[in-house]
Amino acid sequence: MPSPTLADEAHPTTPGPRVVRVIARLNVGGPARHVTWLTAGLDRLGYRSTLVTGRVPPGEDDMGSFASGHGVAPVVVSTMSRQISVKDVLAVWRLYRLFVRLRPDVVHTHTAKAGTVGRLAGLLYRWLTPAALLGRPRACRFVHTYHGHVFHSYFGPWKTRCFLAIEKWLARLATDRLVVLSPQQHREIHGRFGIGRSEQLVTIPLGLDLATFTDAVGGRRRFRREVGADEADILVGIVGRLTEIKNHRLFLQAVALYLQGRGTTAGPRARFLVLGDGHLRDELQEQARGLGLGGHVVFLGFRDDPEDFYPGLDVVALSSLNEGTPLVLIEALANGRAVVATAVGGVTDLLGQAPAGPDLRDRPYTLCERGVLVRPNDPQAFCQALTRVMADAVLRQAMGERGRRFVQQNHSKERLVADVANLYHTLLAPAASGTAREGPMQSTVVNQKPVQKETDLCESSSRGARASSAPT
């Protein structure tokens, strides 16, 4: 991805609030699309936005073309990367120099690494000025969005505690607002891990370009023809990077259990598709061979046709150990797909409540309004949930329709851009009225349509239950 010059990207003399958005890399995934949509959308609302990113490392697919297709040309800081290294010091310095050049009103960081180096550079920008000696640091607001977090399932205990301490320090000294994507993530970040003050946190759900999914019938036909599937076949897909945190091993183990349990039972042919790429591909393919899944599981690699493959699938699976709010599931729901997912992060908010009934929380999985929640890292439970959904076309259709309505009402790209614009307006309003811009102000949840309050773990059923037909 070519790096434009600062002259190409900076507009320091243009009227309107100036926003610098920082993300560690534009690799395949929801955060890259999120920052692209925000940069392009806020420009149309009068903000002057610059997207800053590091380089995508070898072995990961680059979404630079997605950004350029939306008219966004990022500034690339080549020393900023996902891995911790001595280059991070240089990345902080280069970001500081960039901030001095652009004079932002808001610096908004996304994901863990960019949140660290970006806010450290922001502290330098705020205080490395002669006016700071007179108690007048540079006026700039700092916002950080948690697309997920690294406080469990990524690193060992010592490194995790270190990262958590750094995050608490940055929240206290270098952040005006902490944006979370769901009520469950709010409970994790603030309640469980103790990050930030309650007035700092704001919940802004993800948005999606719903215009992408307008030809579901045609997309389904094209995809199923490509993979050689009849309309009667049941296609189960797992979509995402092939990395440890996505836990594809669990998915493959559940598929093996499903095939063992099914035996020679008559019924529609089931096929399992892995959509995505990453450094674990060879290892996962070897695992599939070792489990005897040849002919049943197909690795399709990275796909850039979600308008085809989501309608083409019957069930979308997610087996992650840790998530923020996965855009994959929002896209699946937007296409009316049934979802089976581990109960991690914001997944519980996306899938909704369970039907009223007795408390059966000790069961292996939970039938909710818009999908099925499964205990994390439990292959047998995941297998049972897949079996339940694959065997019941009526259940799949009911969950899919509720999911489609939910996304249309709560997760449009336009709502996302409007919510973030409202957040910036709130942060910058004191400066416009002459009030000193020191310290965070009272926080609000800026969702246009608040996400329905969900229970941490819905009432469950392992057999024979029907999903509620009440609209979301």
Is 439 part of any domain? no
Lookup result for tokens 């076309």: 393
206 vs 153, higher pLDDT: 206
Mean pLDDT of 444-467: 37
Query: What is the model's pLDDT at position 36?
Result: 97
32 in the same domain as 92:
yes
Query: pLDDT digits over 128-180, tens only?
Result: 999 988 889 999 999 999 987 666 556 677 877 888 899 999 999 999 999 99
- Per-residue DSSP letter, 353: P
| 227: phi then psi, degrees, rounded to nearest 5 | -95, 5
Q: Taking the chain, what is the end-to-end CA distance rounded to the nearest angstrom?
A: 42
Across the chain, mean pLDDT equals 85
Q: Which residues contact 286 (CB under 8 A, 6 or more apart)?
A: none
State yes or no: pLDDT of 232 exceeds 70: yes
How far is it, in rounded angstroms, from Cα 17 to Cα 140? 11
Query: pLDDT digits over 386-432, tens only?
Result: 999 999 999 999 999 999 999 999 999 999 999 999 999 999 986 55
State yes or no: pLDDT of 338 exceeds 60: yes
Assign residue 247 a region (left: φ > 0; alpha: ψ between -120 and 50; beta: otherwise): left
Is 50 part of any domain? yes
Is 463 part of any domain? no
Is 41 part of any domain? yes
| 298: phi then psi, degrees, rounded to nearest 5 | -125, 130
Query: What is the model's pLDDT at position 451?
Result: 35
Query: What is the model's pLDDT at position 324?
Result: 81
277 in the same domain as 147:
no
3-state secondary structure of 335: coil
373 in the same domain as 296:
yes
Report residue 454's pLDDT band, with 50, 70 and 90 as the boundaries: very low
Mean pLDDT of 344-362: 71
How far is it, in rounded angstroms, from Cα 334 to Cα 229? 22
- 239-to-3, 113, 339, 341 alpha-carbon distances in Å: 30, 24, 12, 12
186 in the same domain as 302:
no
- 379-to-63, 342, 384 alpha-carbon distances in Å: 32, 10, 9
Query: What is the model's pLDDT at position 373?
Result: 95
Strongest mean pLDDT among 28-32, 146-150, 377-381? 377-381
Residues β-bridged to residue 340: 317, 372
Task: Determine contact, residues 27/60, Cβ cutoff 8 Å.
Answer: yes
Number of domains in the chain: 2
How far is it, in rounded angstroms, from Cα 105 to Cα 20? 8
421 in the same domain as 389:
no
197 in the same domain as 221:
no
Mean pLDDT of 291-306: 94
Exposure pattern of 241-262 as b/e (b: 16+ CB <10 Å)? bbeeebbbbbbbbbbbbbbeee
Mean pLDDT of 257-269: 78
Query: What is the model's pLDDT at position 452?
Result: 36
Secondary structure E strands in 319-380: 338-342, 365-367, 372-374
Task: Find, among 329, 313, 310, 464, the residue nearest to 392 by Cα.
Answer: 464
Sign, Cα dihedral of 218, 219, 220, 225: positive
312 in the same domain as 196:
no
How far is it, in rounded angstroms, from Cα 333 to Cα 335? 5
State yes or no: pLDDT of 446 exceeds 50: no
Lookup result for tokens 């030809």: 215
Query: pLDDT digits over 57-87, tens only?
Result: 887 888 899 999 999 999 999 999 877 778 8
Mean pLDDT of 95-109: 97
Is 446 part of any domain? no
Is 442 part of any domain? no
* Alpha-carbon Rg for the chain in angstroms: 23
State yes or no: pLDDT of 445 exceeds 80: no
Mean pLDDT of 366-384: 95
158 in the same domain as 219:
no
Mean pLDDT of 242-257: 96
State yes or no: pLDDT of 442 exceeds 90: no
Is 166 part of any domain? yes
Q: What percent of the chain has pLDDT over 70?
A: 83
Query: What is the model's pLDDT at position 9?
Result: 42
| 154: phi then psi, degrees, rounded to nearest 5 | -105, -50
218 vs 16, higher pLDDT: 218
Q: What percent of the chain has pLDDT over 90?
A: 67
Report residue 361's pLDDT band, with 50, 70 and 90 as the boundaries: low
CATH number, domain with residue 112: 3.40.50.2000
How far is it, in rounded angstroms, from Cα 377 to Cα 343? 10
pTM as predicted: 0.80
| 307: phi then psi, degrees, rounded to nearest 5 | -65, -15
- Per-residue DSSP letter, 2: P
Is 458 part of any domain? no
Task: Determine contact, residues 213/249, Cβ cutoff 8 Å.
Answer: no
Neighbours of 291 (CB within 10 A): 18
290 in the same domain as 270:
yes
Query: What is the model's pLDDT at position 265?
Result: 61
Query: What is the model's pLDDT at position 289?
Result: 97
Exposure pattern of 137-146 as b/e (b: 16+ CB <10 Å)? bbebbbbbbb
Query: What is the model's pLDDT at position 133?
Result: 87
Assign residue 249 a region (left: φ > 0; alpha: ψ between -120 and 50; beta: otherwise): alpha
Q: Which residues contact 25 (CB under 8 A, 6 or more apart)?
A: 32, 53, 54, 55, 56, 57, 60, 80, 81, 82
CA max distance for the chain: 80
Lookup result for tokens 């073309």: 65
Task: Determine contact, residues 70/36, Cβ cutoff 8 Å.
Answer: yes
Query: What is the model's pLDDT at position 192?
Result: 85
300 in the same domain as 195:
no
322 in the same domain as 423:
no
Domain that holds residue 19: 6-209+412-432
Query: What is the model's pLDDT at position 456?
Result: 37
Query: What is the model's pLDDT at position 263?
Result: 58
Query: What is the model's pLDDT at position 406?
Result: 97
How far is it, in rounded angstroms, from Cα 330 to Cα 406? 9
419 in the same domain as 310:
no
